[in-house]
Amino acid sequence: MPDSHSPFIRPEWVPTVAVNSRILIVGASGGLGTALTAMLCKGPDCLIGAHGNSVPVVACDPYVHAFSGTLDGEAACIQLVDRFTKIARGIDALVMLTGGLTHAEHWNSLSEEDWRHDIDLNLNIPFFVARAAMRVMKAQGSGGRIILTGTESAIHGGSAQSFPYAIAKRGTECMVEGLARDGAPNGILVNGVRLGFIASGFHERWAGRDAQHMRNRADMVPLNRGGHPDEVAALIIYLMSGWASYITGQMIPLTGGDWL
C-alpha cells in the first residue's frame, strides 16, 4: 500500500460535479446543449451560462443565464467569456458544442467563402473561446475543465460533403492535446468527446437528412441505433466530475461501435 509520502495516494474529494460550479455551455440551443443543460439542472446547484444563436429554451432559472448572438471572431468570443465570468464571478468549466456545415455539397464545388466559414465555425471559434476561458481559469488559480467536441468520421477522412467540418474536427483533436499540456500545471483538464451518429438534430438541420436516411444510417451502427443526446450529456458531466480528475488530453469516443 502507498504510504503518506507516496505520489499515488488517493485524492480527497467528492466524485461529482462540484456544488456551485460555474459552467459555460457554448452551443446550448442545439440538441446536445439542451440535454446537457437539463441534466445539469437535475444535479447539484450549478450556475450555467447557455449560449446559442437563438436564446436557448431553459426551464431551470435562476441557475441558467441565457446568452444569444453569433460568435464571428475572437473579440466576440472573449466578450462572451467576460460576460459570463462577471455574472458567475469566475468559470470552472467550458463546454463547446458548436459545429455545423455551411452547405452539404462536395468539397470540389465549395466556395472559398464557405470553406473559410466552416473552418471558422468548427475550429477557430472553439479555439478562441477555449483560450479566453483558460486565461481566466489560470488567473483564478483553482483549476478548471474544458470539454471540446469532435467527430468519429474525422479520423477516417470525413466525407466529400463534410470535408471542411471533418478537417476542423481533426484539428480539434490536436487542440485538445496542446491545451491539455499547457493547462496541466494549473490543474486545468482539457478533453474532447469524439461523437459518432447521434440523434441530436445535427444531420437533419445541417445536411437535410430525412427520417428514412436517419434510419438507414442507424442500421449501419453495430448497436443498430443512433446515440441519444442524454448519453453525450452524461459523458460530458463525467468528464467534469471528480471521477475524471486523472483524465486530460483525451478524445473519448461515443460511437456505438461505428467504424469497427
Is 165 assigned a catalytic role?
A: yes
1 assigned to some structural domain = no
Question: Which tens digits make up the pLDDT trace of 63-77?
Answer: 899 998 889 999 999
How high is the mean pLDDT of the chain? 87
**Residue 56: predicted pLDDT:** 57
User: Mean pLDDT throughout 210-219?
Assistant: 79
Residue pair 98/122 in contact by the 8 Å Cβ criterion? yes
Q: Across-strand partners of 247?
A: none
> 36: domain range?
21-254
Considering 59-68, 155-164, 194-203, 204-213, the range whose residues carry the highest mean pLDDT is 155-164
User: CATH number, domain at 112?
Assistant: 3.40.50.720
Query: What are the DSSP E strand ranges found in 135-227?
Result: 144-151, 188-195
Asked which of 47-56, 79-88, 134-143, 246-255 is least confident by mean pLDDT, the reply is 47-56
89 assigned to some structural domain = yes
**Residue 216: predicted pLDDT:** 81
Report the percentage of the chain scoring pLDDT > 70. Answer: 86
77 assigned to some structural domain = yes
**Overall domain count for the chain:** 1
Q: Which pTM does this prediction carry?
A: 0.89
**Residue 259: predicted pLDDT:** 86
Residue pair 110/159 in contact by the 8 Å Cβ criterion? no
User: Mean pLDDT throughout 146-163?
Assistant: 92
Question: Which tens digits make up the pLDDT trace of 170-182?
Answer: 999 999 999 999 9
187 assigned to some structural domain = yes
**Residue 46: predicted pLDDT:** 87
12 assigned to some structural domain = no
**Residue 260: predicted pLDDT:** 84
If pLDDT is split at 50, 70 and 90, which confidence band does 190 have? very high
If pLDDT is split at 50, 70 and 90, which confidence band does 19 have? very low
**Whether pLDDT at 61 is above 90:** no
The C-alpha cell 468559470 sits at: 91
The C-alpha cell 471521477 sits at: 243
CA-atom Rg of the chain in angstroms: 18
260 assigned to some structural domain = no
**Residue 219: predicted pLDDT:** 87
Question: Which tens digits make up the pLDDT trace of 75-129?
Answer: 999 999 999 999 999 999 999 998 888 777 888 989 999 999 999 999 999 999 9
4 assigned to some structural domain = no
Q: Which of 63, 165, 238, 246 is catalytic?
A: 165
* CA 122/CA 223 separation, integer angstroms: 28
If pLDDT is split at 50, 70 and 90, which confidence band does 199 have? confident
Q: Across-strand partners of 206?
A: none
